[in-house]
A and B are shown apart, each in its own frame.
Chain A
Amino acid sequence: MAILPQKAPSLKRQNLIQMTMIHAVLIFFSLIFVFPLLWMLITSIKPASEAMKTNFIPTEVRPGNYLEAIWYGSESLGYAPFIQYALNTAVVVTLIVAGTVISNAIVAYSFGRLNWPGRNVAFALTLATMMVPFPVLMVPIFGLFRDLGWVGTFKPLWVPAWFGSAFNIYLLTQFFKSLPFELSEAAKIDGCSEWKIFADIIVPLSKPALAVVGLFSFMGAMNDFLGPLIYLQDQKSYTLSLGLQAFQSQHGGTQWHLLMAASAIVIAPIIILFFFTQRLFIQGIAVTGIKG
């Protein structure tokens, strides 16, 4: 279907028909892609009695469902669960994103712009580790955090983020390599330390790449479910993903309007971020997906 615009004027009419058909197909799929989310929003503002009915327009619009979902069970718990979850998530995600960006930038600077014996072997080894699936490491890492007494705290979720990860190192190394080496040489002649070159020259020039790494680590941290499931025990320490699942297993199958409201709350931060960083998002995915 790689239909290219044809230049010959005699084909103009055929072209128009083609384009109309392409638009029709695209609009059809757009509806399929958008409708489930729209349905979620509609259900989230319906009265309880209509949650399982199929009317598109609620007889009564109830934005109060959101408040009800947020405060659900707060009387017995002594805190508003979804506000608590959101705060927990904010803490964990901030620490993860900061750690990921800072540690990977530092390490990638070493691989991309410094010469040291064994560097290339170490880099190849780093790339090879991308093949190792997390479940292989899960049991010993759990044991490690248990021995440290960290189970039940946020530490197992964010501490590893401060020690680099293969894919991000690879991504940033490639980017740092593409910056002219003359910059470093000139700075060195001026007496700059390696750290100063990194922090004052390379980092400012690498903002787009660092933003992509930060964005994806934000997504990963927001979406992480297995980590919180393994390490968090007290409901008060749950993140949004784990909290939403807990909500569903307690009241699921019945209170669909509240469940949809709660789900929409969990989606909101990511959708909002997406609309502010759309270009970066799309470019980042395109670049990382192609270069791998």
Chain B
Amino acid sequence: MKGHLAKDHAKNGILFALPWIIGFSVFLLYPLVQSLYFSFTDYSVLRPPVWIGLKNYTNLLQDEVFIKTLSNTFLFAALSLPAGLVFSIGLALLLNTKVKGLAFYRTLFFIPSIVPPVSLAMLWLFLFRGDGGLVNLVLETVGIRGPDWLGSPEWSKPALVLMGLWGVGNAVVIYLAGLQNVPQALYEAADLDGAGPWTKTWNVTLPMISPVIQFNLVMGVIGTFQVFTIPYIMFSGGGPDRSALFYSMYLYDNAFVYQRMGYASAMGWVMFLIIFALTMIVLRMSEKRVHYGS
């Protein structure tokens, strides 16, 4: 009787999992194996792939544009991730002070983060204009002559970072929820020990939300390498001096503009390895610092 039930369970289990078993095989495993194979071939859609060994990978190392996109992407991550982290946690901490009108502020901060990326790109193309864009007008009122944000290689990335900060509401909501989960008793204990607000923030609040920070950092690393839509729309051809040509954009160009599918696949695998390595680094770095509670 029991054996019969287990068998029933097994049959149903497989049946219910069937969509994913198919999806996993067709849209994940098979493309993954195939792209690994393509990465060792010269493949241009019109002709069948020809095996060329490691040539795509060695070519990547000599491809100046590739190196440029790699450094652009790392630089952008190095600017945008810490800035986003500090700004979102800062706002979340302010909102967590039992301030009146919390829901109202939270909604205002949140709305920009749900603006579709294409609209977002249009809006900021308009705001960052060199000839009388709103950003520079505001800077002018405080006596700063704003740069040509989108037209100069030095300012294209900072412009994207600022746009990213504007869309930080999503992270604010996540951190705020994390902050609200910190047990009140810990603060009361800290009060008894005579801890001031700064001490409490450093020694109670931040350690308690460290798993959330870690998770968001990992997702941020993965996300930055896949940044595509906004720079693709705002900087056709990668912007001034290719300063806004990011990894995924060059991968897309290779695959669908230059029809170098083998090369693009190799880029995909390099991206995969980089993301994997960075994720491991983030996880290990925070291993000691992250506090998981009990």
Q: Which A residues are within 8 Å of any B CB, using their own CB?
A: 1-5, 19, 22-23, 25-26, 29-30, 32-37, 39-40, 43, 52-54, 103, 106-107, 109-111, 114-117, 119, 122, 125-126, 129, 131-144, 160, 162-165, 169, 194, 198, 219, 222-223, 225-226, 230, 240-242, 244-245, 248-249, 252, 256, 259-260, 262-264, 266-267, 270-271, 274, 278, 281-282, 285-287, 289-290, 292
Q: How far is the CA of A287 from the CA of B93 in the complex (A)?
A: 18
Residues in A with CB closer than 8 Å to B252 are 135, 138, 226
Is B85 on the interface with A (CB-CB < 8 A)? no
A17 → B minimal CB distance (Å): 13
Most buried by A among B6, B30, B35, B96: B35
Q: Which B residues are within 8 Å of any A CB, using their own CB?
A: 6, 8-10, 12-17, 19-20, 22-24, 26-28, 30-32, 34-35, 38, 45, 90-91, 93-100, 105-112, 114-119, 122-127, 129, 131-132, 134, 137, 166, 169-171, 173-174, 176-178, 181, 187, 191, 197-198, 200-201, 204-205, 212, 215-216, 219, 222, 225-226, 228-229, 232-233, 236, 248, 251-252, 255-256, 261, 264-265, 267-269, 271-272, 275-276, 279
Most buried by A among B9, B111, B119: B119
Besides the contacts A223-B116, A248-B122, what 5 more A-B pairs have beta carbons closer than 8 Å? A54-B134, A109-B16, A137-B31, A140-B35, A278-B107
Q: What residue of chain A has the Cβ atom nearest to residue B117's Cβ?
A: A223
Q: Which of A26, A114, A125, A129 contacts B95 (CB 8 A)?
A: A26
Q: How far is the CA of A240 from the CA of B279 in the complex (A)?
A: 34
Q: Are A40 and B123 in contact (CB under 8 A)?
A: yes
Residues in A with CB closer than 8 Å to B108 are 30, 33-34
Residues in B with CB closer than 8 Å to A263 are 118-119, 122-123
Most buried by A among B31, B122, B174: B122
Residues in A with CB closer than 8 Å to B132 are 52-54
Q: Are A163 and B22 in contact (CB under 8 A)?
A: yes
Residues in A with CB closer than 8 Å to B6 are 115
Q: How far is the CA of A257 from the CA of B279 in the complex (A)?
A: 43
Q: Are B9 and A116 in contact (CB under 8 A)?
A: yes
Q: Are A122 and B17 in contact (CB under 8 A)?
A: yes
Q: Are A43 and B117 in contact (CB under 8 A)?
A: no
Residues in A with CB closer than 8 Å to B170 are 285, 289
Residues in B with CB closer than 8 Å to A23 are 99-100
Q: Are B215 and A289 in contact (CB under 8 A)?
A: yes
Q: How far is the CA of A140 from the CA of B32 in the complex (A)?
A: 8
Residues in B with CB closer than 8 Å to A137 are 27-28, 31-32, 35, 268
Q: How far is the CA of A29 from the CA of B111 in the complex (A)?
A: 13
Residues in B with CB closer than 8 Å to A230 are 256
Q: What residue of chain B has the Cβ atom nearest to residue A19's Cβ?
A: B99
Residues in A with CB closer than 8 Å to B122 are 244, 248, 252, 259-260, 262-263
Most buried by B among A43, A136, A142, A292: A136
Q: Are A289 and B107 in contact (CB under 8 A)?
A: no
Q: How far is the CA of A1 from the CA of B198 in the complex (A)?
A: 6
Q: Are B30 and A140 in contact (CB under 8 A)?
A: yes
Q: Are A140 and B31 in contact (CB under 8 A)?
A: yes
Q: Which of A1, A5, A143, A266 contacts B98 (CB 8 A)?
A: A5
Given known contacts A109-B16, A137-B28, A33 and B109 CB-to-CB distance under 8 angstroms:
yes
Q: Are A30 and B106 in contact (CB under 8 A)?
A: no
A58 → B minimal CB distance (Å): 15
Q: Which of A43, A54, A141 contacts B27 (CB 8 A)?
A: A141
Q: Are A1 and B90 in contact (CB under 8 A)?
A: yes
Q: Are B99 and A26 in contact (CB under 8 A)?
A: yes
Q: What are 29 residue pairs bridging A and B, where the CB atoms are less than 8 Å apart in the complex?
A: A1-B90, A33-B169, A34-B108, A54-B134, A106-B16, A114-B13, A116-B12, A125-B24, A126-B20, A133-B268, A133-B271, A136-B272, A137-B28, A138-B268, A140-B38, A143-B261, A160-B23, A164-B20, A223-B118, A223-B229, A225-B229, A230-B256, A248-B233, A260-B123, A266-B119, A267-B116, A281-B110, A286-B176, A289-B170
Q: How far is the CA of A110 from the CA of B24 in the complex (A)?
A: 15
Q: What residue of chain B has the Cβ atom nearest to residue A265's Cβ?
A: B119
Q: How far is the CA of A110 from the CA of B118 in the complex (A)?
A: 37
Given known contacts A241-B118, A244-B118, A135 and B174 CB-to-CB distance under 8 angstroms:
no
Q: Are B123 and A29 in contact (CB under 8 A)?
A: no
Residues in A with CB closer than 8 Å to B112 are 33, 36-37
B111 → A minimal CB distance (Å): 7
Q: What residue of chain B has the Cβ atom nearest to residue A194's Cβ?
A: B12
Q: Are A266 and B251 in contact (CB under 8 A)?
A: no
Q: Are A241 and B117 in contact (CB under 8 A)?
A: yes
Q: How far is the CA of A33 from the CA of B163 in the complex (A)?
A: 11
Q: Are A3 and B197 in contact (CB under 8 A)?
A: yes
Residues in A with CB closer than 8 Å to B106 are 282
